[in-house]
Chains A and B, each alone.
Chain A
Amino acid sequence: MSAASPQSQSKARLRKRPRSKAAMAETRRGWSYAAPDWVFIIGLFIVPIVLLVVMAGSRWSLMGGNRGWNFPENFIKVFEHPLLLKSMGFTLKYTVIVTIILLALGLGLALLVQESSKWNSILRTCFLLPSATGLASASLLFYALYSPQVGPVTRILSFFGLMEADGSVLATGSSALWATTLVIVWRYSGYYMLLMMIGLQSIPGDLYEAARMDGAGTWRIFRSITLPLMKPTIVMCLVYCVTGSILAFDQFFIITRGGPNNETLTVVQLIYSFAFESKKDLGMAAALSLLVLVFLVIINSIQMRGMRDDTK
């Protein structure tokens, strides 16, 4: 472009000036409409993240406030805490159980109701209704259901001889885990059904047609067409489900309170306990929060990369 004559260059500049004015106006408008979004992001997202890092490296008690930098003392105290490994193990176990059940049930329900008919839309509404309730209200509801005084669960189980007449399903660690898993399955199956249905709808119908022409049975069609083509959807549900389960708090806080004997204590409950109950130490709570945050960002980016490669 060095061959361009000075004349044409100046012309170009002349033409450019009004356009750049318009571009500046567009930039100004664009930024002003996005400004509220930025205010939220900076004030309530970036500042707290920075503060989280500072707190994780400081002696910072619930009552006394900031007492100065002490990195890496908080992290050492967190790693040495006897309940850390136990709560991590429990959280992972819970995550695996919930993820397997929810993905299988979500896909099963989606296959059951995917064809549109009056009857199926009633079924869909029934499956979805629990997901309109909050996690806290669902947990309170099941807490009452499980109580030996008023709930039917103890009566039903003891009728079949599975437990004592005045016992509670929350009395042992493993039954409390399953009882809480049931709440989550009840609350979230419809949600995963919906996500799976959207994935199923994107599979072209003539693929099924062709397979049926070739004489493939229902199971064969499911294994060779539905499952492979649903992979992106299943991976997405996996990301949601794993992330949500690792962060489990409300259901255990309300139903089991981490008990009996800290057997159902999740990592996020341990953060709460560091901050308000056992230690009253915000520095330790921040250090554990930061570890959870970094861990989740890492899994999320691994899983998202896997997803992108698959859909290519």
Chain B
Amino acid sequence: MKTPMWKRVVGYILQALLALLFVSPLLWVLISSFSPQPGSSQIDGWGINNYLTLFGFQEGLPRYLFNSIVVSLVAVVFSVLVCTLAGYSFSRFNYPGRNLGFMVTLSILMVPYASLLIPMMVWFKSIGLNNSLVGVGLVLTLFQLPMSVFIMRIAFDAIPKSLEEAALCDGCNSLQALVKVLMPSVKPSMVTVGLLAFLEAWNNFMMPLYLVSSENAPLPLALVNMRSQAMGAIDYGITEAGVVVLMIPCAVLFLALQKYYVRGFMAGAVKG
């Protein structure tokens, strides 16, 4: 009983249309950021005027990009470092406090960051991290911990113990065993952890909204500020250009590292 040819063709066409529907907003914003529009910097003919305006708007695009990069870098470096070490600790060492540590780390999942930003703001002010991009990166790292420590622990659990025992017998200490013997095997999971941290840090809007002022805004917050601060009519051209600038690194990283992204989800699903 084979499906007739015409039915399969119709199926393919419908599926293609559905896929196009999902991609079309991305294509639309890409095209219209270059196309002529009334009320934007690109009034007649195609060109890059929206991007030029964005480049020099308020503090300037380079400043906002720099802010975004600082926040993302802090979040990625700390997430990978802290989660690798904690995953190693919770997987390889048997000691009192190990399960407590793991459970407390997972319990961060129960507490949404939206409910902690008010005290976080006050706390940061009293420890000198107010209006600090590093502070935002650290908070982002905290909320990456539960999922990412979990991913790293599973990765270490999957490696046979004999591997590092051999290294320990050869006179390595536990840190050398980690760096030289175990790290190469868990590298894919470290990439996953770093990718998840980057996507979250690069795109997060709410944490900087609470924790930094407008000249320290990363790009998503800066774009929202530009929109609401523009006098009178809104310049949609800047918004479109900004959205494209925000999306390009995500889309490129996602397409290049899709395998690692999917792995991260696998870990989340296993936990449930």
Task: Check if A129 is an interface residue, CB within 8 A of chain B.
Answer: yes
* From A48, A194, A232, contact of B123 by CB (8 A): A48
B251 in contact with A30 (CB, 8 Å): no
* From A40, A143, A253, A301, contact of B138 by CB (8 A): A40
CA distance A233 to B206 in the complex (A): 29
Q: Which of B18-59 contact A (CB under 8 A)?
A: 18-20, 22-23, 25-26, 28-29, 32, 37-40
When distances are taken between beta carbons in the complex, the residues of chain A under 8 Å from B32 are 144, 150
Interface of B is mostly: helix
Q: Which of A129, A253, A286, A297 has the most CB of B within 10 A?
A: A129
Given contacts A40-B138, A186-B22, contact A143 B269 (CB under 8 A): no
Task: Check if A247 is an interface residue, CB within 8 A of chain B.
Answer: yes
B101 in contact with A37 (CB, 8 Å): yes
Per-residue CB proximity of A31-52 to B under 8 Å, as 1/0?
1111011101100110111011
A143 in contact with B265 (CB, 8 Å): no
* From B221, B240, B250, B255, contact of A125 by CB (8 A): B255
CA distance A102 to B205 in the complex (A): 23
When distances are taken between beta carbons in the complex, the residues of chain A under 8 Å from B112 are 243, 247, 292-293, 296
CA distance A128 to B39 in the complex (A): 33
Task: Check if B203 is an interface residue, CB within 8 A of chain A.
Answer: yes
Given contacts A144-B240, A268-B114, contact A198 B174 (CB under 8 A): no
Chain A: minimal CB distance from B256 (Å) = 11
A132 in contact with B250 (CB, 8 Å): yes
CA distance A112 to B255 in the complex (A): 21
- Which of B88-96, B158-166, B183-191 lines the interface with chain A? B88-96
Task: Check if A158 is an interface residue, CB within 8 A of chain B.
Answer: no
CA distance A51 to B117 in the complex (A): 11
How many A residues are at the interface, by size bracket?
Answer: 35 or more
CA distance A2 to B202 in the complex (A): 65
B251 in contact with A293 (CB, 8 Å): no
Task: Check if B116 is an interface residue, CB within 8 A of chain A.
Answer: yes
* From A36, A47, A137, A250, contact of B243 by CB (8 A): A137
Given contacts A40-B142, A129-B254, A134-B204, contact A45 B243 (CB under 8 A): no
Task: Check if B13 is an interface residue, CB within 8 A of chain A.
Answer: no
Given contacts A34-B86, A44-B120, A48-B120, contact A233 B247 (CB under 8 A): no
When distances are taken between beta carbons in the complex, the residues of chain A under 8 Å from B132 are none
Per-residue CB proximity of B103-128 to A under 8 Å, as 1/0?
01100101110111111111100000
Q: Which of A109-160 contact B (CB under 8 A)?
A: 112, 119, 122-123, 125-130, 132-137, 140-145, 147, 149-152
CA distance A142 to B32 in the complex (A): 13
When distances are taken between beta carbons in the complex, the residues of chain A under 8 Å from B204 are 134, 136
Given contacts A55-B118, A141-B29, A194-B265, contact A133 B258 (CB under 8 A): no
Task: Check if B131 is an interface residue, CB within 8 A of chain A.
Answer: no
CA distance A275 to B114 in the complex (A): 13
* From A122, A130, A268, A286, contact of B26 by CB (8 A): A130
Q: Which of A80-95 contact B (CB under 8 A)?
A: none
A199 in contact with B269 (CB, 8 Å): yes
Q: Which of A271-312 contact B (CB under 8 A)?
A: 271, 275, 282, 285-286, 289-290, 292-293, 296-297, 300-301, 307
Would you list 12 pairs from A and B whose C-beta atoms are within 8 A, ordered by A residue? A29-B174, A55-B118, A55-B119, A126-B22, A129-B22, A137-B223, A140-B227, A141-B240, A141-B243, A189-B22, A286-B119, A292-B115
